[in-house]
Amino acid sequence: QSALTQPASVSGSPGQSITISCTGTSSDVGSYNLVSWYQQHPGKAPKLMIYEGSKRPSGVSNRFSGSKSGNTASLTISGLQAEDEADYYCCSYAGSSPYVVFGGGTKLTVL
Amino acid sequence: EVQLVQSGAEVKKPGESLKISCKGSGYSFTSYWIGWVRQMPGKGLEWMGIIYPGDSDTRYSPSFQGQVTISADKSISTAYLQWSSLKASDTAMYYCASEGIGVTPGAGAFDIWGQGTMVTVSS
């Protein structure tokens, strides 16, 4: 059982927007604005898409955005494209031990 | 080019020891935390621990404390993950990853990843 809870799957059509939730507790997501989101295509290493809740690394499309409310963080992908089909993982800083915890991952299907 | 290059796939027997490596290049290896992430077959990502190569400060997830050892040799820009006695349940892909400029240190924002090392433990 993962420390952070994500939906197992989400889907959307090209051009639509989708949101993936990541629910933690007051000890991790709720206490720190330090949630990261990763995209992982099959057989590939993860790629950082969002860090510190809402910041995008250089080169990441502005179609990806992050937010947080209480103990739940969210990743929104607007203008869905076929290449967005992948697994998405959230992770959060959780203080000194366990330090960082991941969600179980969400499979995004672009219909 | 900024990159992390990991050692190749390993096939080991239960009870054997193993040390896999992750060599950084193209950036200041000693200035950023490097972490290890496990991905068991068909499963999600798990944060194992991190090391700061500059002074070898190391932190472990409680799930992996005592099960693995993370180390680094800054003279050759290389981090390591090692086991003293492998189990079948250690079969997984192991990624090393480095935090980058501008991120809060030690908070899980890895923007440089190695290609992964597949470790298979089977009798």
Q: Per-residue pLDDT tens for A19-77?
A: 999 999 999 999 999 999 999 999 999 999 999 999 999 999 999 999 999 999 999 99
Partner residue opposite A45 with nearest CB, options B59, B95, B109: B95
Contact in structure between B121 and B14 (CB atoms under 8 Å): yes
Other CB atoms within 10 A of residue A62 CB: 8
Q: With an 8 Å Cβ cutoff, are B37 and A103 in contact?
A: no
Q: Tell me, what's the pLDDT at A92?
A: 97
Q: With an 8 Å Cβ cutoff, are A100 and B37 in contact?
A: no
Give the total residue count for chain A: 111
Mutate to test the interface with B, among A1, A41, A51 (most CBs of B within 10 A): A51
For chain B, the average pLDDT equals: 96
Chain B interface, Cβ < 8 Å to A: 35, 37, 44-47, 49-50, 59, 61-63, 95, 97, 100, 103-104, 106-111, 113-116
Residue with tokens 């990843």: B113
pLDDT of A1 higher than 80: no
What are the CA-CA distances from residue A54 to residues A35, A75, B77, B80, B86 (Å)?
A: 8, 9, 31, 31, 39
Mean pLDDT of B99-121: 93
Distance CA A75, CA A88 (A): 9
Instruction: For residue range B41-76, list pLDDT tens digits in order.
Output: 999 999 999 999 999 999 999 999 999 999 999 999
Q: With an 8 Å Cβ cutoff, are B106 and A99 in contact?
A: yes
